Structure 1
Amino acid sequence: MSARILDGEVIARSIKDVIARRTIKRVHDGHRPPGLAIILVGDDPSSHVYVRLKKKDCEVVGFHTEICLFDESASENEVISCVQGFNRNENIDGILVQLPLPAQIDALTVIKTINPEKDVDGIHPYNLGLLALREPAIRSCTSKGIMSLLDQTDIPIRGLDATVVGASNHVGRPTCLELLRAGCTVTSCHRFSRDTRSHVVSADIVISATGVAGLIKGDWIKPGAIVIDVGIERQLDGSLRGDVDYDSVIKVAGWLTPVPGGVGPMTRVSILENVMEAAEKVAP
């Protein structure tokens, strides 16, 4: 048995085609193109790569972008002031603060400054609260991308057992909420979990977002399970590895995401979807 691959690059490309057509129609109807503002603080190489990719995505679908760059030494007040400016900017529908931020800046304080209607990362407490209440909200982009990947399997997930490994505010927790909303029985594993393997082996769906390369082994996986790997770590030889031990898991799982090229492209295209939805609320 060999798992079927959930290719995020291919799926995201098809979604971007749809978004690009929606942008063309908006402009044809006399509206401005959707606008995304990105705030980047510091010199973290990975963050700069992610921002370049997001900017390129926006160009592909015809969005307007504005990028605000700060030195590593920037103060929290400077970043908040930038957010407030984009909150007032009528040409901007979405605001994204690239994480992580330097130690002197509290990420939650900055995120809470974003107008919730422009929180296209979907991690403002207001939007996460709406998600928990099963109310319409701007959905967290990574967990939204994960749910889109699950949709691609054509397997009805209502009633399935799902284990989420990792409980971060921007991936693990919102993913648990999404799965609950979809009718799954959800187990959340975190750093205090005493035996993570015991919760993974019986799961129909395994989603791992820990940043620990190779954590999830093939003998942890129920035959035929759907395995979504959110982790991505650069190794000493320059290669990228996920949380999942790919070579052993692919022999057991029914569906598996690659790293890179699985969750990452789906996260980015979910941002585009959120920006478009925000723009359409302003000018349908």
Structure 2
Amino acid sequence: MTIIDGKAVAEEIKKEIGAEVEAIKVSGGKIPHLVAILVGNNGASETYVANKVKSCEELGFNSTLLRFDPSISEAELLAEVQKVNNNEDMDGLIVQLPLPDHINPDKVMETIDPKKDVDGFHPINIGRMAKGLPAYISATPQGVLDLLERYNIETSGKHCVVVGRSQIVGLPMSILMQRNHKVGNCTVTLTHSKTKNLAEVCASADILIAALGRPEFITADFIKEGAVVIDVGLTRVEDATKKSGFALKGDVKFDEVAPKCSFITPVPKGVGPMTIVSLMKNTLLSAKGLIY
């Protein structure tokens, strides 16, 4: 059994991106510029955005953080998005979720220029991905693809079961794993809360991708011997033994499942570290004009 070290892979990719940005600077090329919009002061959102800004600094990117009071109207926020759309120096735009209840997140995502949608949430990018056209792939699914590729895990002809159908992870993951690509060519089963005999379906998987957001839901009886298990889940669970008062748990009961696997991602330090580096990759692609 091999534990997939997402933190190490993320650091490796960061070094590659940093070296490329340094070469761009030396040649006088366009430095990638990422813009983040943060509405309100949600604690988790503050942390996520701070990590993204820090990554930009580490990699030599330019970054801009636009903060707005939670009282901002939907129309005003959409106008701010349009300003970024129209700024040719700005290559990527992310709007940190969640947004206040009076703002429709779908409307905001659809207002972002698809060419700057480095989160990969715009319907045009999702559609292009589904058709196999060049597109920005959302960060978590891209991170999973990178882990599978960097660990030389064979996917062609394998049965991949995805647990969870969210538009951010489960659905795009199911599309990506079946495409005609080096990391792909799987026969894919997409499961969800209404799937009957879920454990039985999962136990038929050569590759299981868990993305349902229920801590330690996937137990040993869901796994066949030698399966590859990718745990996308990340949930805070109360834990009095921790200084923070909580522990981070994945969707997979790791200690029970790991002995049956050929490869498995831990939580933390599995898929999580790959998400921000995937966002940086998309911003670099935008600055280089390689998608559109």
Match status 1:85 vs 2:83 = yes
The one-letter amino acid of 2:79's match is: S
Corresponding residue to 1:180 among 178, 183, 190: 178
CA contact (8 A) 1:6 1:152 kept: no
Q: Any idea what the Cα deviations from partners look like across 1:78-129, whole Å, max 9, x if unmatched? A: 2212211111112210011112222222111111111101110111100110
How far off its partner does 1:279 sit?
Answer: 0.3
Deviates more, 1:111-120 or 1:99-108: 99-108
TM-score (norm 1): 0.95
SS of the residue 1:81 aligns to: helix
How far off its partner does 1:10 sit?
Answer: 0.4
What does residue range 167-206 of structure 1 map to in structure 2 within 5 Å?
A: 167-181=165-179, 182-206=184-208
- Cα distance in structure 1, aligned partners of 2:230 and 2:71: 36
Corresponding residue to 1:61 among 54, 59, 62: 59
Q: Any idea what the Cα deviations from partners look like across 1:154-187, whole Å, max 9, x if unmatched? A: 1220110001111111111111111011211111
Corresponding residue to 1:37 among 35, 47, 54: 35
SS of the residue 1:101 aligns to: coil
The one-letter amino acid of 2:265's match is: T
CA contact (8 A) 1:166 1:189 kept: yes
Moved over 4 A (4+): none
- Cα distance in structure 2, aligned partners of 1:260 and 1:40: 25
Q: Which residue of 1 aligns with 2:242?
A: none
Q: Which residue of 2 aligns with 1:16?
A: 14
Q: Which residue of 1 aligns with 2:73?
A: 75
Deviates more, 1:146-155 or 1:56-65: 146-155
Q: Which residue of 2 aligns with 1:274?
A: 282
SS of the residue 1:251 aligns to: helix
Corresponding residue to 1:212 among 208, 211, 214: 214
Alpha carbons of structure 1 residues 193 and 73: separation in structure 2 relative to 1, 3 Å: farther
SS of the residue 1:37 aligns to: strand
Mind listing any 5+ residue stretches in structure 2 that lack a counterpart?
240-245
Alpha carbons of structure 1 residues 241 and 166: separation in structure 2 relative to 1, 3 Å: same
SS of the residue 1:235 aligns to: strand
Corresponding residue to 1:259 among 257, 267, 279: 267
- Cα distance in structure 1, aligned partners of 2:36 and 2:197: 39
How far off its partner does 1:70 sit?
Answer: 2.3
- Cα distance in structure 2, aligned partners of 1:81 and 1:264: 32
Q: Which residue of 1 aligns with 2:101?
A: 103
SS of the residue 1:187 aligns to: strand
CA contact (8 A) 2:30 2:287 kept: no
SS of the residue 1:254 aligns to: strand
Count of residues in correspondence between the two structures: 280
C-alpha RMSD over aligned residues: 1.3
Deviates more, 1:89-98 or 1:65-74: 65-74
The one-letter amino acid of 2:285's match is: E
